[in-house]
Amino acid sequence: MRLNRYLSECGLGSRRKVEEFILQGRIEINGKTVAELAHNVEIEKDTVTFDGEKVKRQSKAYYLLNKPKGYVTTTSDEKNRRTVLELIKTNVKVFPVGRLDYNTTGVLLLTNDGDFTNYLLHPNNKVRRVYRAVIDKPLEIKDKEKMLKGLYLEGKKGRFEEIIVTRKSTIVNVTAIEGRNHFVKKMFQTLGYNVDELARINYGGITLGDLPLGGWRELTLAEINGIKKKYDKL
């Protein structure tokens, strides 16, 4: 098994994250530092350590959190801010799938399944994310059309796949297939709108239902398989 996949299945993070650990020289196999991303692990024979501590594969776990404001979507924080992992009461080591901004609320998935995470995050898979934005003034039709056609953000074009303006014209549901930092807010700000509140209400078809703010639950088998069957076909 490829080393990055094995480390991800041990709950150390997404494949991209564990590749950073490998390149930093923090991984040893049988007492020797390994810094090659293409290295393979013989699971039954090799002893793998991270920062000197032995790692092993965990059973797969999948959680949905209704993220509240005031939490960072990381496993640790240099500023000692609260992390979303403090809200999940489990002995299984999991990591967030992507990020939500500090004051953005809503659907956040956490897992130790690297393949599951990679499918959801990879831009080529065009996984839909739906956000509810509260903006400071009604959205004009011409601006809606611009955001559907595409805007350049820091030299790279981005667009919303769908925009639904609710009866209250300052509440807008937008669908995106990319997860760039502050993407939704920047799209609105480019056209002169401030986003006062932002919540993710759907990620890859998974929704909150009646899950309260700060609450969490395991994903159902149907939800897990609904995602897995998509990447099993790739």
d(CA 201, CA 208): 7
CA angle (33, 95, 172) in 5-degree steps: 140
Note whether 214 and 68 are within 8 A (CB): yes
Note whether 73 and 65 are within 8 A (CB): no
Name the catalytic one among 77, 101, 115, 210. 101
C-alpha dist (Å) from residue 170 to 74, 140, 194, 200: 31, 10, 10, 16
Note whether 183 and 153 are within 8 A (CB): yes
- 115 is known as an active-site residue: no
Catalytic (active-site) positions: 101
